[in-house]
């Protein structure tokens, strides 16, 4: 299936576009207009002449030009008819937002949509989905208003989610933290385009370097195994599987008509295919962003801190997650002793003390970057101290942009800290609140790098 018509259309029709700002068709049409999509956008509604100053057409068949992609937001009983019209018009991609199909027992209705899509060779996403976003092509059929769900900037992480709600939470988090995405797809009931098609497409997408996924079910286990293995060799895939308990399986069935399947089998398949499995939505976000860092050569981590206790906690979790505290080289220790005041603790963690300023961070980063005994660097920055301000971000960002080793940050605190975290994140430094999550993510990055290159995996707790 060629999915380019969905992500890179030249023209889009919004079927069910409405004047009423509370209707989904209105929000979708408005988002296309205001989101900066460069192609043609046609509102389709038989009852009105104009929407937002654009000529409205009764049907796609009345549109003079060709249409690559249709977003359908009309009630369930009307979907088959408008989808057929799309087929007759030669539309090659459709996103069916409408609910009321297999997830509520309307198997016949969903089957009809699949048959129409197959007859006309339409790549159909949904039904029962939230829409999709391509930040490069500025395609945005997500039916949530922009003032409520800020859109993330252009970036390298693609996110596919069977659940629209999960998807919206994660992209909201990404936007808030300044983390960019390449694509977002909520694929709902996965009636035609499913997770395998999306993974295959994203494997070859030059704008995507990391894939994050929320699965409720996999439609075709054998195909998934083959495709996931291939995709995860090429790009890291971070996934969360929902519907793991008896109650969760029942909820997934009525949510997206998913047959959730055994959690153990999924975990085994993920391990076999080198998909990185996570257990919470925040982990999905927190783990995905670290995979944009360069691959570490090994598991020896150097920690720089201006707070002793957070350094100790980070050390504990680093070791418990299978990382090793690096033994700094003699040269590193010598240079550090020469440069830093006597109260700086030249160990690992390298405790720069509570009066550390940006110059100390800069020098410490330089030393660890040049030390061959250090594979990755965790920089703990507690912004509450008097000697630190936003300018310390510049030195961390500059070191990170050399892309020699993975550099991540841990910063814990309130409003002032949060502002600085956004600066770091926006510049590509994964920044965490929790030593547990930071070291967990770093250990998975290390695991992935070792598994793909050497076929060996470090042990985890």
Binding site for ligand COA (CB under 6 A): 15-16, 18-20, 23-25, 44-48, 73-76, 78, 82, 97-100, 128-130, 164, 186
Of the pair 88, 230, the CB lying nearest ligand COA is at 88
Q: How far is the CB of 47 from ligand COA (least distance, A)?
A: 5
Going by C-alpha positions, the residue among 89, 91, 54, 49 that lies closest to residue 71 is: 91
Tell me how far, at minimum, the Cβ of 56 lies from ligand COA, in Å: 9
Q: Report the residue number, 117 or 429, with the smaller CB distance to ligand COA.
A: 117
Smallest distance, Å, CB 255 to ligand COA?
A: 9
Rank residues 16 and 435 by Cβ distance to ligand COA and give the closer one: 16
Select 45 or 379, whichever has its Cβ closest to ligand COA.
Answer: 45
CB of 215 to ligand COA, least distance (A): 15
C-beta nearest to ligand COA: residue: 164
Q: Which is nearer to ligand COA, 111 or 154 (CB)?
A: 111
Beta strand pairing call for 54-55 and 50-51: antiparallel
> Judged by CB, which is closer to ligand COA: 21, or 247?
21
The Cα angle at residue 125 between residues 11 and 25, in degrees rounded to 5: 60
Nearer to ligand COA, 130 or 429 (CB): 130
Beta carbon of residue 279, minimum distance to ligand COA (angstroms, whole number): 22
Shortest distance in whole angstroms from residue 28 CB to ligand COA: 10
**What backbone phi and psi angles, to 5 degrees, belong to 312?**
-65, -45
Taking the C-alpha atoms of residue 137 and residue 134, their distance in angstroms, rounded to an integer, is: 6
Least Å distance between CB 65 and ligand COA? 18
Alpha helices in 15-152 (DSSP H): 24-34, 76-89, 107-120
**Contact status, residue 256 vs residue 190, Cβ threshold 8 Å:** yes
Residue 291, judged by CB atoms within 10 A of its CB (0-12, 13-18, 19+), counts as buried
Cα 449 from Cα 290, distance rounded (Å) = 12
Phi, psi of 268 (to 5 degrees): -65, -40
Phi (first) and psi of residue 256, to 5 degrees: -130, 25
Q: How many CA atoms lie within 13 A of 62 on its CB side?
A: 13
Closest distance of CB 266 from ligand COA, Å: 22
Closer by beta carbon to ligand COA, 80 or else 451: 80
Q: Residue 439 in contact with residue 407, Cβ under 8 Å?
A: no
SS3 74: coil
Whether 207 and 182 have beta carbons less than 8 Å apart is answered as yes
């Amino acid at each position: 299936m060629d999915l380019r018509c969905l992500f890179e259309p030249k023209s889009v029709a919004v079927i069910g576009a409405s004047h009423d700002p509370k209707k989904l068709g209105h929000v979708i049409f408005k988002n296309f207009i205001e989101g900066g999509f460069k192609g043609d956008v046609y509102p389709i509604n038989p009852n009105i002449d104009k929407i937002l100053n654009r000529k409205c057409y009764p049907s796609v068949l009345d549109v003079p030009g060709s249409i690559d992609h249709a977003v359908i937001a009309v009630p369930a009983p009307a979907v088959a008819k408008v989808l057929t019209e799309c087929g007759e018009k030669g539309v090659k991609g459709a996103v069916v937002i409408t609910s009321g199909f297999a997830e509520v027992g309307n198997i016949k209705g969903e089957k009809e949509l699949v048959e129409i899509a197959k007859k006309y060779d339409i790549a159909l996403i949904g039904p029962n989905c939230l829409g999709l976003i391509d930040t490069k092509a500025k395609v945005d059929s997500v039916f949530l208003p922009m003032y409520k769900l800020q859109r993330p900037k252009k970036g390298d992480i693609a996110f596919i989610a069977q659940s629209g709600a999960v998807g919206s939470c994660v992209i909201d988090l990404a936007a808030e933290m300044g983390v960019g995405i390449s694509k977002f797809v909520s694929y709902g009931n996965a009636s035609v385009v499913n997770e395998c098609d999306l993974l295959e497409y994203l494997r070859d997408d030059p704008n995507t370097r990391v894939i994050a996924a929320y699965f409720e079910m996999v439609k075709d286990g054998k195909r998934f195994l083959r495709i996931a293995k291939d995709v995860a060799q090429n790009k890291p895939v971070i996934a969360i599987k929902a519907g793991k308990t008896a109650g969760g399986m029942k909820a997934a069935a009525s949510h997206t008509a998913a047959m959730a399947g055994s959690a153990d089998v999924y975990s085994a398949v993920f391990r076999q295919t080198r998909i990185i499995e996570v257990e919470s939505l925040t982990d999905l976000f927190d783990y995905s962003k670290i995979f944009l860092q360069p691959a570490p050569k090994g598991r020896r981590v150097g920690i720089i801190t201006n707070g002793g206790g957070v350094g100790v906690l980070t050390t504990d979790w680093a070791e418990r997650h299978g990382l090793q505290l690096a033994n700094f080289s003699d040269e590193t220790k010598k240079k550090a002793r020469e440069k830093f005041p006597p109260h700086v603790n030249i160990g690992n963690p390298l405790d720069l003390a509570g009066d550390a300023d940006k110059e100390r961070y800069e020098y410490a980063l330089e030393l660890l970057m040049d030390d061959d005994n250090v594979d990755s660097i965790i920089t703990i920055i507690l912004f509450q101290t008097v000697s630190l301000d936003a300018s310390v971000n510049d030195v961390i960002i500059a070191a990170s942009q050399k892309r020699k080793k993975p550099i991540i940050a841990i910063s814990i605190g309130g409003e002032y800290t949060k502002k600085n975290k956004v600066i770091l994140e926006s510049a590509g430094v994964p920044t965490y609140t929790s030593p547990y999550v930071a070291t967990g993510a770093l250990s998975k990055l290390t695991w992935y790098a070792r598994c793909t290159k050497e076929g060996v995996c470090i042990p985890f707790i």
